């Protein structure tokens, strides 16, 4: 790790830091490489470890679903590129789903100096050579939209990460908010939330829309609708 490497955690709404990284697919400039696409950068503690292996298989099994959402994946750990290559080779040779070998098709950053991890603030606080299980979801404009951190002993839920990307895209497109457990919310099912009124005029308009059936409301501040 270089002494002058800045240590910090990007905040929600920040631009993803510009960097050139070495990956299993060659040199990549971030976030430019994924310009016009969503992308997920996720870190794992180390290659050839059990939980991380299950995570990479799970991400790969859903890779086509991510791509349908115009979203790419890129992994990261403080390992050399040769380690990444041997590990993905091991996965392909030893892990089969429905009788088919699992081939990791997305790039993995080889951050053997730890510089990238320092820039993103994802060095495990008690294990200086490992990264935490972090997830950065970045939109097509290079803006960080979601950050997730998991402890080393807990593998991630990839379906939740897929849900986040889909929900953010729907929210952006329609100017709505997404309820808990969307699209299976306990109160309103697969409907979406209308942002709360910020003034009296809008609140009254909401109630009128509710009367006409355009939206549904429990009260002026709690309205929802079908997309």
Tell me the domain boundaries of the chain: 19-174, 175-227
pLDDT at 147 > cutoff 50? yes
Q: What would the pLDDT profile of 64-79 be if each residue is shown by its tens digit?
A: 999 999 999 999 999 9
The reported pLDDT for the residue numbered 39 is 98
Look at residues 9, 48, 44 and name the one whose alpha carbon lies nearest to residue 152: 44
**Nearest residue to 195 (alpha-carbon basis) of 206, 181, 210, 186:** 206
Strand duo 19-23 + 71-77: pairing: unpaired
Per-residue pLDDT of 175-203, as tens digits, reads 999 999 999 999 999 999 998 888 988 88
Surface-to-core class of residue 46, CB atoms within 10 Å of its CB (0-12 exposed, 13-18 middle, 19+ buried): middle
Given a cut of 50, is residue 3 above it in pLDDT? no
CB 109 within 8 A of CB 22: yes
What is the model's pLDDT at position 127?
A: 63
In angstroms, the first-to-last Cα distance of the chain is: 49
pTM of the model: 0.92
Residue 26 has pLDDT above 90, yes or no: yes
Name the CATH architecture for the domain at 175-227: 2-Layer Sandwich (3.30)
Q: Are 190 and 182 in contact (CB under 8 A)?
A: yes
| Burial (CB count within 10 angstroms: exposed 0-12, middle 13-18, buried 19+), residue 99 | exposed
**92 within 8 A of 103, measured Cβ to Cβ:** yes
Task: Indicate whether 7 pLDDT > 60.
Answer: no
Can 118 be counted among the known catalytic residues? no
Task: Provide CATH code, domain 19-174.
Answer: 3.40.30.10
Residue 210 has pLDDT above 90, yes or no: no
pLDDT tens track for 91-102? 999 999 999 999
Question: pLDDT at residue 135 above 80?
Answer: yes
């Amino acid at each position: 790790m270089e002494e002058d490497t800045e240590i910090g955690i990007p905040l929600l709404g920040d631009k993803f830091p510009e960097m050139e990284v070495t990956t299993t697919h060659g040199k990549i400039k971030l976030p430019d490489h994924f310009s016009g696409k969503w992308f997920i950068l996720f870190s794992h503690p180390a290659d050839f470890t059990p939980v991380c292996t299950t995570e990479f298989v799970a991400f790969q099994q859903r890779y086509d679903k991510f791509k349908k959402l115009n979203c790419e994946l890129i992994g990261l750990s403080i390992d050399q590129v040769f380690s990444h290559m041997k590990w993905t080779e091991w996965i392909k040779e030893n892990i089969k789903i429905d009788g088919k070998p699992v081939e990791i098709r997305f790039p993995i950053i080889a951050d053997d100096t730890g510089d990238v991890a320092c820039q993103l603030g994802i060095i495990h606080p008690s294990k200086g050579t490992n990264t935490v299980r972090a997830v950065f979801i970045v939109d097509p404009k290079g803006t960080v939209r979601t950050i997730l951190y998991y402890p080393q002993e807990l593998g991630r839920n990839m379906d939740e990460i897929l849900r986040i990307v889909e929900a953010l895209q729907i929210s952006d497109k329609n100017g709505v908010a997404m309820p808990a457990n969307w699209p299976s919310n306990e109160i309103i099912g697969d409907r979406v939330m209308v942002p709360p009124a910020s003034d009296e005029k809008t609140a009254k308009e909401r109630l009128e829309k509710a009367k006409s059936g355009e939206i549904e409301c429990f009260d002026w501040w709690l309205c929802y609708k079908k997309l």
